[in-house]
A and B are shown apart, each in its own frame.
Chain A
Amino acid sequence: MEVYLDNSATTKCSKRAVDTMVNLLTADFGNPSSLHSMGAKAEEYVKEARKKIAKTLKAEEKEIFFTSGGTESNNLAILGCVEANKRAGNHIITTAIEHASVQQVFEHLKEEGYRVTYLPVDVSGVISLEALEEALDEETIFVSIMQVNNEIGTVEPIEEAVQLIRKKAPKAVIHVDAIQSYGKMAICPKKLKIDLLSVSGHKIHGPKGSGFLYIKDKTKIKPILFGGGQQKGMRSGTENVPAIAGLAEAAAEAYDHLEENVSHMYGLRDYFIEEVTKIEGVTVNGSTGMQAAPHIVSVSVEDVRSEVLLHSLEEKGIYVSAGSACSSNKPSVSRTLKAIGLKNNLLDSTVRFSFCESTTKEELDYTIANLKEIIPFRRKFTRK
């Protein structure tokens, strides 16, 4: 049995997306900038994709900008906005548990001289609103908060945070990294009152190398890539038409069946948590209930190293992620797991299971059965 439980790393591309892409790679392969009909046809696909995606966010078409994926969306949002607003202030805020494609950009800006605040989180990974309130001041020009944490699945209180920000730092531009939440919950940037939102295609059964940034109309932002002036100059470079159309198909599919998919995944998640915590020495990290995403379960297993557990599961055809990639040569401890105060001995004993709408209860039963065998056996052989 092959059980893929690493959907937060990447997903299988949907058939609808693949079919669309094959056509765009082999038949309608024109460049949207070309003046002839082949170009016009390609442009039509991009427009159509933009329309489909805008619909999922209840946004306007002109607010969707296609990128090469989550990393580029986050980079464009942060670098583009901070650059455009640098005269308004010098202070930027994010959380202690962001993905590297946000955190590393903030580190870069810190070196450039910006004052950076990293918001702490509680044991469930929820950001401290008090710390946010305290950090906000007139100098604050940019705040970036992820909607769902990629390692533990915690949902951040975006609405409350936005209210605070709008009250105390009216100039600040608000960015939400929605890479793990898009396709797993209804998101309306207008309702959330945010300015920027990042999405990646391959996390929602779209192709790798696809993604977009929602930029609220009239947001002050500058491009970070320069060239032919495509996408209103915000993102130069020939549009990756197959990826864009594939992403739009995947997005439409996700939102067409959102409610049933999500309730299916919540059911799986709760079942999995219940069963896995029955095993001795096993705990689950992050929030529970609706305060956590439906598709991510972070599991700590006492006295079994994550890499060993991962490869033991792999031998049984089960694919998961190590919560914190750690090897004897280069220890790289997860910032998120550290930030939630996970005990030191568990930092390197945490794996992430992540589901998608096609995950089945049988697959989870098979996984649980194997965990019940693997964990006590591997525990006998610990490093002394």
Chain B
Amino acid sequence: MYKSFLIKYGEIAIKGKNRYLFEEALTGQIRYALRSVDGEFEVRRLQGRIYVDALSEYDYDEVLEALSHVFGIVGICPVVLVEDEGFDKLAEDVIAYMDKVYPDKHITFKVNARRARKNYPMDSMELNAALGEKILDAFPEIKVDVHNPDVLLCVEIREKINIYSTEIKGPGGMPVGTNGKAMLLLSGGIDSPVAGYMIAKRGVAIDATYFHAPPYTSERAKQKVVDLAKIVSKYSGPINLHVVNFTDIQLYIYEKCPHEELTIIMRRYMMKIAEHFANENHCLGLVTGESIGQVASQTMQSLAATNAVCTLPVYRPLIGFDKNEIIDISEKIDAYETSIQPFEDCCTIFVAKHPVTKPNLKVIERSETKLSEKIDELMKTAIDTTEVIHITAED
């Protein structure tokens, strides 16, 4: 029955003169999300509100599902829009609305009218009373409860009159694209997709870098990362996924450096390569799924050692999260089932039994001097042969 949805947004309403930029980004993201829904939709801004109008048949649940992925939305109200043709017609429309939406009339209600267009002949209080009376007359079983009604019927007098009574919670956050772009280091694990989701929630667009190590990691491992990127892109918008062939660098480090330092040195080179692509793609920072102390390479000392190679800021949205908290979010965004597929990850191939947990930056840097002969060339090859996959949620 609904042909329109009223989109409510929170935080962005307070952004002063930048407001239109945020609204623009939000409408853009809503259009992107609706591309994966069958049907034709129009997204329009009108007097500080955003409406989604269905121009064709559509599936109600599918639309709500798509909109629930759009950061910046606080609430989604399925709304009936009617022309202003006088109070009697409005009363008729409101009664028809109540009849359709609430087939069981054993409910309590309250009218919450709002006269946004001030030339309407009745004010909000008058409308509340008059419409309430009409509804009570039409349905004898229905009762008024002004304190704790089952149904809060909102009637807003605008250019058209908006009638709605439900609000579905949106994901909150800020519209993607309003806070620049960052480069996500995406692995096939549980954490990094969640980190991507978290940073996107604050309005940051993302690109991603994945390190592939054939024949140690398989095509399936790569496909898994593509699948995860797709899941994240439902929230973050399109992602350019950089697939770097890291095998030769990894083998070179294996040959030249102390085994227990392998992971940390490897991660430093990963950061360097990710930063290269970040700069190339105008990203303002790197994003990782690290959380303090989770594994050897995520101790404070290890994080400092990997951090030292970057000039861009490194954002770690999961830094204070426990694993089970991360899993909860992973499940919420439907990434968990994909993340736990058991394919070898390039970080675990050569992992030492007892990797250093408190690396000393000077020692690590000294070990890396042993790589000086070939590492620049290997880095260049890895960068030059990187495959970029454009990922959107719809395909």
Q: Write the nearest CB–CB distance from B26 to chain A, whole angstroms.
A: 39
Is residue B353 within 8 Å, beta carbon to beta carbon, of the partner chain?
A: yes
- Mostly, the B contact residues are loop
Q: Give A384 to B354 CA distance when docked, in angstroms.
A: 10
| Inter-chain contact A327/B342, CB cutoff 8 Å | yes
Q: With A327-B343, A327-B344, A328-B344 in contact, do A381 and B215 touch (Cβ < 8 Å)?
A: no
Q: Which B residue sits closest to A383, measured CB to CB?
A: B350
Is residue B352 within 8 Å, beta carbon to beta carbon, of the partner chain?
A: yes
Is residue A166 within 8 Å, beta carbon to beta carbon, of the partner chain?
A: no
Q: Which residues of B contact A188 (CB under 8 A)?
A: none
| Inter-chain contact B344/A307, CB cutoff 8 Å | yes
Q: Which residues of B contact A26 (CB under 8 A)?
A: none
In chain A, positions 91-148 with a C-beta closer than 8 Å to chain B are none
Q: Which B residue sits closest to A374, measured CB to CB?
A: B215
Q: Could you say which of B214, B217, B342 contacts A329, with CB atoms under 8 Å apart?
A: B342
B201-223 interface code vs A (CB 8 A; 1 in, 0 out): 00000000000001111100000
Q: Which residues of A contact B351 (CB under 8 A)?
A: 383
In chain A, positions 277-325 with a C-beta closer than 8 Å to chain B are 307-308, 310-312, 314-315
| Inter-chain contact A384/B352, CB cutoff 8 Å | yes
Is residue A330 within 8 Å, beta carbon to beta carbon, of the partner chain?
A: yes
In chain A, positions 322-376 with a C-beta closer than 8 Å to chain B are 327-330
Q: Which residues of B contact A384 (CB under 8 A)?
A: 259, 350, 352-353
Q: Which B residue sits closest to A330, measured CB to CB?
A: B342
Q: Which residues of A contact B353 (CB under 8 A)?
A: 384
Q: Give A209 to B218 CA distance when docked, in angstroms.
A: 27
Q: Write the nearest CB–CB distance from A345 to chain B, whole angstroms.
A: 15
Q: Which residues of A contact B343 (CB under 8 A)?
A: 327, 329
Q: Write the nearest CB–CB distance from B149 to chain A, whole angstroms.
A: 52
Q: With A328-B348, A383-B349 in contact, do A315 and B342 touch (Cβ < 8 Å)?
A: no
Q: Give A2 to B327 CA distance when docked, in angstroms.
A: 42
Q: Could you say which of A315, A327, A328, A383 contacts B215, with CB atoms under 8 Å apart?
A: A315
B341-368 interface code vs A (CB 8 A; 1 in, 0 out): 0111100111111000000000000000
Q: Write the nearest CB–CB distance from A334 to chain B, whole angstroms.
A: 16
| Inter-chain contact A311/B215, CB cutoff 8 Å | yes
B234-263 interface code vs A (CB 8 A; 1 in, 0 out): 000000000000000001001100010000
In chain A, positions 202-246 with a C-beta closer than 8 Å to chain B are none
Q: Give A196 to B352 CA distance when docked, in angstroms.
A: 51
| Inter-chain contact B251/A381, CB cutoff 8 Å | yes
Q: Which residues of B contact A307 (CB under 8 A)?
A: 218, 344
Q: Which residues of B contact A327 (CB under 8 A)?
A: 342-344
| Inter-chain contact B350/A381, CB cutoff 8 Å | yes
Q: Write the nearest CB–CB distance from B55 to chain A, whole angstroms.
A: 40
Q: Which B residue sits closest to A331, measured CB to CB?
A: B342
Q: Give A384 to B255 CA distance when docked, in angstroms.
A: 12
Q: Which A residue sits closest to B351, measured CB to CB?
A: A383
Q: Give A308 to B251 CA distance when docked, in angstroms.
A: 13
Q: Write the nearest CB–CB distance from A316 to chain B, whole angstroms.
A: 10
Q: Give A312 to B344 CA distance when docked, in angstroms.
A: 15
Q: Which residues of A contact B218 (CB under 8 A)?
A: 307, 311
| Inter-chain contact B214/A311, CB cutoff 8 Å | yes
Q: Give A361 to B373 CA distance when docked, in angstroms.
A: 43
Q: Which residues of A contact B349 (CB under 8 A)?
A: 383
Q: Write the nearest CB–CB distance from A373 to chain B, whole angstroms.
A: 13
B285-323 interface code vs A (CB 8 A; 1 in, 0 out): 000000000000000000000000000000000000000
Q: Which residues of A contact B254 (CB under 8 A)?
A: 381
Q: Give A330 to B259 CA distance when docked, in angstroms.
A: 24
Q: Give A307 to B215 CA distance when docked, in angstroms.
A: 8
Q: Which residues of B contact A328 (CB under 8 A)?
A: 342, 344-345, 348
Q: Write the nearest CB–CB distance from A96 to chain B, whole angstroms.
A: 25
Q: Give A330 to B340 CA distance when docked, in angstroms.
A: 10
Q: Which B residue sits closest to A314, measured CB to CB?
A: B215
Q: Write the nearest CB–CB distance from B132 to chain A, whole angstroms.
A: 60
Q: Give A380 to B255 CA distance when docked, in angstroms.
A: 9
Q: With A327-B343, A381-B254, A384-B353 in contact, do A308 and B215 touch (Cβ < 8 Å)?
A: yes
Q: Write the nearest CB–CB distance from B187 to chain A, whole angstroms.
A: 13
Q: Write the nearest CB–CB distance from B375 to chain A, whole angstroms.
A: 17
Q: Write the nearest CB–CB distance from B263 to chain A, whole angstroms.
A: 12
Q: Write the nearest CB–CB distance from B277 to chain A, whole angstroms.
A: 25
Q: Write the nearest CB–CB distance from A215 to chain B, whole angstroms.
A: 39
Q: Write the nearest CB–CB distance from A35 to chain B, whole angstroms.
A: 42
B67-102 interface code vs A (CB 8 A; 1 in, 0 out): 000000000000000000000000000000000000
A-B residue pairs in contact (CB < 8 Å), sample of 30: A307-B218, A307-B344, A308-B215, A308-B216, A310-B215, A311-B215, A311-B216, A311-B217, A311-B218, A315-B214, A327-B342, A327-B344, A328-B342, A328-B344, A328-B345, A329-B340, A329-B342, A329-B343, A330-B342, A380-B255, A381-B251, A381-B254, A381-B350, A383-B349, A383-B350, A383-B351, A384-B259, A384-B350, A384-B352, A384-B353
Chain A to chain B: the 7 pairs with minimum beta-carbon distance, closest first: A311-B215, A329-B342, A312-B215, A330-B342, A327-B342, A328-B348, A384-B259
Seed contacts A310-B215, A329-B343, A381-B350; 7 additional CB < 8 Å A-B pairs = A308-B215, A311-B217, A311-B218, A314-B215, A315-B214, A328-B345, A380-B255
Chain B positions within 8 Å of A, measured between CB atoms, are: 214-218, 251, 254-255, 259, 340, 342-345, 348-353
